[in-house]
Amino acid sequence: MTFLQTFLLMLGAHALADYPLQGDFLARAKNHRAPLPGVPWYQALTAHAMIQGTFVGLITGSIVFGLAETVMHAFIDFLKCEKVIDYDIDQFLHVVCKAVWCVLLFGATA
């Protein structure tokens, strides 16, 4: 697979995991500023981030990139819930992470 193919697959997987696979429940439950009664926000945030990380791991064939994506996705979404960043910056940072994983996977000259 090429750099571009990998990057585009990760973007597609991101869209799938951030919209239909996240759904309203996880989108609301992961927000520690407006928690759903009886639902630990950190479990919802972790589940969502792990879905993202799983896709990255499968696409890159690397558990390291999958774990890195899980951590970074959770951190970025936490910042959004804290209102440190807005929705556009949140999505931009997610795309930047995918680009970084590709650069690290294929090398800066790919």
Q: Is the pLDDT of residue 105 over 80?
A: yes
The CA-atom distances, in angstroms, between 2 and each of 7, 76, 88 are 8, 27, 28
Neighbours of 8 (CB within 10 A): 15
Question: What does the H/E/C string look like for 37-75?
Answer: CCCCHHHHHHHHHHHHHHHHHHHHCCHHHHHHHHHHHHH
Average of pLDDT values for 32-55? Answer: 96
Could you please report the per-residue DSSP string of 86-110? -HHHHHHHHHHHHHHHHHHHH-TT-
pTM: 0.92
Average of pLDDT values for 52-74? Answer: 97
**pLDDT band with cut points at 50, 70 and 90 for residue 35:** confident
The confidence score (pLDDT) of residue 108 equals: 57
**What is the tens place of the pLDDT at every residue in 13-23?**
999 999 999 99
